Structure 1
């Protein structure tokens, strides 16, 4: 059987990054180390990205430092990885190191830097980077850079300033800009501005599921169930579907996927028994389920049952019954983690002595000893 070449390993490592399959990614790295002397620039960058997207920051640092022929792309991947893994200040320190050794940033680097500012709530620094980008770094700001700053302002609750920036960007505002504002409006409960952002999105993309769902949820929160039904009927008529929440967890090199309320796993009985145990523990710790994100017209008890069976909780339960105290449980979720699941992960990490790493659609959350790397800012 012929040995795998670099192209094959690049494809494998990229797939592992997408799935969060750390064990398989480590195997690919070890295989290459046994068959080659030095890590090439391309594979080194892919490995840095894979380890970062699996939440293994230490291994990413190791590959980064060992790769001698680093280009701006590898530096950018490392900076971005540190930002989304809850180490934004380390990301900006690395950016300074990159400049000091004479490597000029490119557009992707600046996106990574602005992302780091957004994750850390560094509003003044992010605005300064945007304003001096062209003169100091000779990088022409793009709509992606403006989107990062809209996200930065939105996360910090500066919604009016974010809206003002959207209206003054030297580009036609796109779905990404309005989407960043919409997410911020949802987080900070600014329904009026959120409705405006959702309508702007639907002008640009009438089939945008996120905007439709926001409208539905806003009407539900206001008890306007006739309008909720109208939006949902329109979504069905135009075949607009919100992707269901799903989570995957890798255990002993095998990847398992869960949907909310999933009973397909062979150990389903044990998983739900563990969930019941976790729920009892949470009640003893004074945890009250956060059901405000459940917008169905059902009673509170049913809402609590619904939220208790979120896909990341099922993945967590499988991780708890499959690992020992002190182990790492890695979960990848396709949507943003909800407030209740975030609170549960913090408590479970302390009570059950696990290091829990959750990658959602925006960033990583590293839960340990009852706290999260995001410091509840996400």
Structure 2
């Protein structure tokens, strides 16, 4: 009996429903792959801080008879405003808005823009210097600062200027502060945008603050950025380099921080696996050290001083000695009889004759020296009687 045409669409629908259920079950059983979308934010070009048309090319007025290149100012006639603190800074840098890429980002080892730090750069993205804040990865020659200016052997008398290359100074002296409630928080808030601060100290009785940065380049940048600026009040700050703290605890803390900074630079330069092995954070290195340091003795745990002494010995040895295995000395060595020296009857020694016989296949014949005869038998003696 033939099936009715009405039953065929119903069977097709049932088959389609079963296939859909099977596909849904397979999708539930299969693990869902999670894809992480990476959004890369493009850096913006550096912003023009000052309109080029507003820049005046006129030279500053002459306030003295002689221009001092060491202090970069005229000597004489400036007794009333010795440090130029009566004139506030016309502009101020905003590192969040003004930072951006310039032509210097394409060149490795570029310096930072001094005018950008002061907020007066008119070139923007066309500037040949960096328009951003220094980081710990920015390393420069100790003879220059982050702006590329040459340092001197000693500080100026007023502790201003570029600084000295004989000392790594990360502390700024900030004078002429108007002391108020919460002055420490105010000082930290105004100096924090220029880099990570390690320590801040305010002498409320003298209106002076000392700000220490983690990185020296950030201290150099902040000195120029905060020079002649003001805090919450309308004061004009006197920002200079700080002298050496006479406190022994402060000197030890400074030396420890420099050591930690140098160690961090070494960690960043070496591979991570090698650093983990040196610091003892690699379990596989500990097992390998335990196996190699047993010196072939089961159950022997080598002390650290013996291990380090063996390591220094291998490092000081030449490469050939490191590649070759050391010779094992036997406890009882066989004694070999020393051959007696043969009498030499001719021009060549016995060893030379043996070598010649080996080359010639044993066909070399030697002729013994003939005994002298004649009237000059004993001639050659030192005895005058002969």
TM-score for the superposition, normalised by structure 1: 0.21
Q: Which has the higher contact order (CA 8 A, sep 6+)?
A: 1
Whichever structure has more helix as a proportion of its residues is 1
